[in-house]
């Protein structure tokens, strides 16, 4: 239910009397828009009412988050509305109305959950459905090594193959990309999906019958890069790009499990903190954040630039950077050696606002919830010590 809530919160902000309102940006009469809450039929009235009761608070959080709502307001011509598609959805192509005739902008929500097999069955007074917790949240559990860029580069081929040979097509695409990168000396680990039960079981999707913990996914070339956070002297990137471009920065904070070779001669210009994901160790990030902040503080005080990297540059390094940004920078993004943080502390709203700031520059950022929780716990513990 997250996306419908976000979509409606955006609409409520845009149709309000705030500076972000559509009327003040493009002269559109947005007050006639349908800003009611649209949910799937299987959501009970009780749950819908509970969501509606909290919408005002979520809308205020969005307004104060620092998100660039004005850009959205300048291009949105119709209200947002979610539409749900599952594996059993039947769509008659010749009966789909022309997009221009719709009085809303659709957000198509495609469920990765299977509608059969070993699933949790839920019911309401009128509807029932099968639910797989987290089926669409963690792509390592169903994408079979297919990265977003690989998917979009081969989207039509994958769709045209049909469900019977789709998995084989994905395997071929992923393997060709792995070989391409391996021949160029790039990071290209073998991706395997180990079946955990016999393939003769007809009632289960093969994807649900795999030992998915053995899947390793690496970012493709297009997903790598160095992202500078405004004028903070902080940058984010993958460990591979850090090894290749370390001469372009003054110091490197490596949060990957494995060390990298850098060009810096000074010991104080490089620190390796082998941090693992929260799924492997719930306290790995928390236990290393103090060292990360101290390393950043000693170098930023001298006006040095700092590149923070992890395996893919999307999760752990983003969370470490977030902790550094909150601990050592003021509300305006200027380094103040922690003065602002020691005076104001931290709230979830403020942490969310700083994360939005990071994501404005690090466009590939995808921090996990488990790691963000560790950052918040660390910051609270630092406030308690002060």
237 assigned to some structural domain: yes
113 assigned to some structural domain: yes
Over its length of 386 residues, how does the chain's per-residue pLDDT go in tens digits? 677 777 777 777 776 644 444 444 444 555 678 888 888 777 788 988 998 898 888 888 888 887 777 777 778 888 888 888 877 777 777 777 787 888 888 888 877 665 544 444 455 544 555 555 555 556 666 778 888 888 889 999 888 888 778 888 888 898 888 888 777 776 666 665 544 333 333 333 332 233 323 333 333 333 447 899 988 999 999 988 888 887 888 999 999 998 888 876 677 899 999 999 888 899 999 999 999 999 999 999 999 999 999 988 999 999 999 999 999 999 888 999 999 999 998 999 889 999 999 998 998 899 999 999 999 999 999 877 65
What phi and psi values does residue 238 have, to the nearest 5 degrees? -80, 160
Pair 234, 337 in one domain: yes
Pair 36, 124 in one domain: yes
Pair 121, 72 in one domain: yes
From 91, 106, 131, give the residue that closes a domain: 131
296 assigned to some structural domain: yes
Pair 154, 110 in one domain: no
CATH number at residue 268: 3.90.190.10
Pair 309, 241 in one domain: yes
Pair 122, 148 in one domain: no
Pair 73, 114 in one domain: yes
Pair 186, 41 in one domain: no
Pair 248, 337 in one domain: yes
From 182, 214, 246, give the residue that closes a domain: 214
Domain range for residue 57? 2-131
| Domain total of the chain | 3
């Amino acid at each position: 239910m997250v996306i419908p809530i976000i979509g409606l919160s955006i609409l409520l902000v845009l149709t309000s009397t705030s500076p972000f309102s559509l009327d003040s940006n493009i002269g559109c009469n947005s007050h006639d828009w349908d800003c009611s809450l649209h949910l799937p039929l299987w959501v009970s009235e009780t749950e819908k009412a509970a969501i509606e009761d909290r919408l005002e608070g979520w809308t205020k959080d969005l307004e104060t988050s620092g998100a660039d709502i004005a850009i959205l307001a300048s291009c949105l011509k119709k209200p947002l509305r979610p539409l749900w598609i599952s594996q059993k959805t039947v769509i008659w192509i010749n009966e789909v109305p022309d997009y221009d005739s719709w009085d809303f902008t659709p957000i198509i929500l495609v469920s990765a959950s299977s509608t059969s097999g070993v699933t949790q069955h839920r019911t309401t007074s009128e509807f029932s459905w099968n639910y797989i917790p987290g089926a669409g949240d963690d792509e390592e559990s169903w994408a079979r090594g297919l990265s977003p860029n690989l998917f979009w580069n081969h989207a039509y081929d994958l769709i045209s193959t049909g469900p019977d040979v789709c998995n084989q097509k994905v395997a071929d695409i992923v393997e060709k990309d792995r070989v391409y990168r391996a021949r160029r000396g790039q990071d290209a680990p073998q991706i395997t999906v180990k079946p955990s039960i016999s393939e003769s079981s007809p009632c289960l999707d093969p994807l649900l019958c795999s030992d998915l913990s053995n899947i390793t996914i690496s970012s493709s070339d297009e997903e790598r890069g160095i992202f500078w956070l405004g004028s903070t002297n902080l940058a984010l990137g993958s460990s591979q790009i850090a090894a290749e471009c370390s001469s372009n920065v003054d110091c490197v904070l490596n949060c990957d499990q494995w060390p990298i070779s850098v060009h810096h001669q000074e010991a104080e210009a490089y620190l390796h903190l082998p941090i693992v994901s929260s799924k492997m160790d719930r306290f790995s990030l928390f236990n290393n954040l103090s060292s990360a902040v101290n390393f950043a503080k000693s170098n930023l005080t001298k006006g040095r630039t700092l590149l923070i990297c992890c395996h893919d540059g999307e999760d752990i390094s983003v969370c470490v950077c977030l902790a550094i940004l909150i601990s050592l920078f003021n509300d305006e993004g200027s380094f103040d050696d922690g003065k602002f943080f020691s005076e104001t502390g931290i709230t979830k709203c403020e942490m969310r606002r700083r994360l939005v700031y990071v994501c404005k520059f690090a466009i590939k950022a995808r921090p996990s919830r488990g790691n963000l929780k560790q950052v918040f716990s660390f910051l609270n513990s630092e406030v308690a010590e002060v």
